[in-house]
Amino acid sequence: MAKGGRPGLSVPELIVRKRDGAKLTDDEIHGIVRGFMNGSVTDYQMSAFAMAVYFQQMDFDETVALTLAMRDSGKVLDLGVIDAPKVDKHSTGGVGDKVSICLAPIVAACGVTVPMMSGRGLGHTGGTLDKLEAIPGFRVDLSVREFRAQLRRVGCALIGQTADLAPADKRLYALRDVTGTVESIPLITSSILSKKLAEGIDALVLDVKVGRGAFMKTEADARALARSLVRVGNLAGKRVSALLTDMNSPIGYTIGNALETTEALEILHGEGPEDLRQLSFELAAEMLRAAGVERSKARARRRAESAVEDGSALEKMREIVSAQGGDPAVVDAPDRLALARHRTTIRAAQDGYVTKLDALELGYASMGLGAGRSRSEDAVDWGAGIRLHVQRGDRVRKGDALATLYASRRALVGPGADRTASAIRIGRRRPSRQDRIIATIRS
């Protein structure tokens, strides 16, 4: 890895070097991030640097340096007092992605500590924190002390990013968001990994989504991102692997906070939709393998399934919900969660097969019903969203229910119904099957 570098280069010179395609040294990259945090590198210089990276890329060495510099811009948790392996999962974001809510207790019930830090919904994508807050009383804002104590006691905690972990990423992401520099593989890689490495984990499993409702629209781009995350994570000293998964249609049958939490809890009862089960158990198996609890993926998957069959995953979820101030009765009766009162059902206009459930459009339709936010400061309506009655490939007859919409304001229902109806396509021919899991990428 390139250390040192030419002494004394000014920030404008470093920006020019990157703009012209040079490889920066570790010291130069650490210096830029340090300067960004202490104010000697201005926001406009950092934005110009991000744009230079966007066009010229960074190699793996540079991306590792940027990742570690951003990780070290704040606190790095030391979870060394916990003997169990510590493994987290990160999804690049999608529509109907409620996997974390059932995955975390399944993996924790198998003896792995799961320090899970999640995000909030923005635009067409939902966020685990909003979904969890649909459980009355559930707190996601634990302090670092509470987080660590719960991990020791319960083996799992589901919380939001605390302000003192990787603050450089938070500031840089805010600049990237408004300067056209989000879609850069080295910048996305360092952004995701800096936060995760600050959590004090031993291993990380990534769910890199591809398709209409994902950040990465093509399989080639998603593979490139997954490879970068795995390689950089490994070079930073962690066991990191990734699943590449399909995000052309929503996961399961629900989009919206309470609806999705209910569906995720159903998985812990041994019920729930097949695609959600498949994704949850595959990710659980990969996490157990990464933790070193099982060597073979098949055995790891069996172990995860047993945790649901013997009720230990459900019991773990009761413990997590109680520890975080939520009503544990919801875990046993998931359909208790309140749904918005204005409802309408969309029906098939013709006989045929469901050939398309456009995840992007359905995500925006759900957001428009109040379930999501267009700006990060907006509030969400936990009871709003969409319950699909079909999945891609299902046969329907004219008049069959395709989706039910939920909103707290009557005025939102009409536009939501139009958008939902245009996102669902019925054709004469059954479409080819699309598995959720496309590939597993390891070092």
142 in Cβ contact with 150 (< 8 Å): yes
Nearest to ligand URA of 191, 280 (CB atom): 191
127 in Cβ contact with 300 (< 8 Å): no
Q: Which of 18, 86, 131, 176 is catalytic?
A: 176
**Is residue 90 annotated as part of the catalytic site, yes or no?**
yes
- The least CB distance from residue 128 to ligand URA, in Å, is 13
- The least CB distance from residue 173 to ligand URA, in Å, is 6
> Which one of residues 135, 157, 175, 188 is an interface residue with ligand URA (CB under 6 A)?
188
The alpha carbon dihedral of 350, 355, 359, 361 has a sign of negative
- The least CB distance from residue 197 to ligand URA, in Å, is 13
Counting contacts by CB under 6 A, is residue 388 touching ligand URA? no
Counting contacts by CB under 6 A, is residue 206 touching ligand URA? no
- The least CB distance from residue 223 to ligand URA, in Å, is 16
> Which one of residues 109, 142, 192, 267 is an interface residue with ligand URA (CB under 6 A)?
192
- The least CB distance from residue 378 to ligand URA, in Å, is 19
- The least CB distance from residue 174 to ligand URA, in Å, is 11
Nearest to ligand URA of 65, 188 (CB atom): 188
Kindly indicate which of the ranges 18-26, 44-52, 183-191, 419-427 contains the residues binding ligand URA, using the contact rule CB under 6 A. 183-191
**Is residue 195 annotated as part of the catalytic site, yes or no?**
yes
Binding mask of the shown chain, residues 143 to 182, with x at each position contacting ligand URA by CB under 6 A: ------------------------------x--------x
Q: Which of 191, 194, 228, 241 is catalytic?
A: 191
Nearest to ligand URA of 188, 321 (CB atom): 188
Nearest to ligand URA of 16, 224 (CB atom): 224
- The least CB distance from residue 89 to ligand URA, in Å, is 14
Counting contacts by CB under 6 A, is residue 359 touching ligand URA? no
Counting contacts by CB under 6 A, is residue 194 touching ligand URA? no
How many chain residues interact with ligand URA (CB under 6 A)?
6
> Which one of residues 128, 181, 191, 241 is an interface residue with ligand URA (CB under 6 A)?
191
Kindly indicate which of the ranges 186-194, 272-280, 323-331, 384-392 contains the residues binding ligand URA, using the contact rule CB under 6 A. 186-194
Counting contacts by CB under 6 A, is residue 248 touching ligand URA? no
**Is residue 207 annotated as part of the catalytic site, yes or no?**
no
**Is residue 176 annotated as part of the catalytic site, yes or no?**
yes
CA distances from residue 39 to 32, 161, 174 in whole angstroms, order as listed: 10, 23, 16
Q: Which of 61, 97, 169, 275 is catalytic?
A: 169
Six-digit token pair at 140?
A: 């996601």
47-86 residues labelled b (16+ CB within 10 A) or e (exposed): bbbbbbbbebebebbbbbbbbbbbbbbbbbbebeeeebbb
Catalytic residues: 90, 169, 176, 191, 195
Residue ranges binding ligand URA (CB under 6 A) = 173, 182, 187-188, 191-192
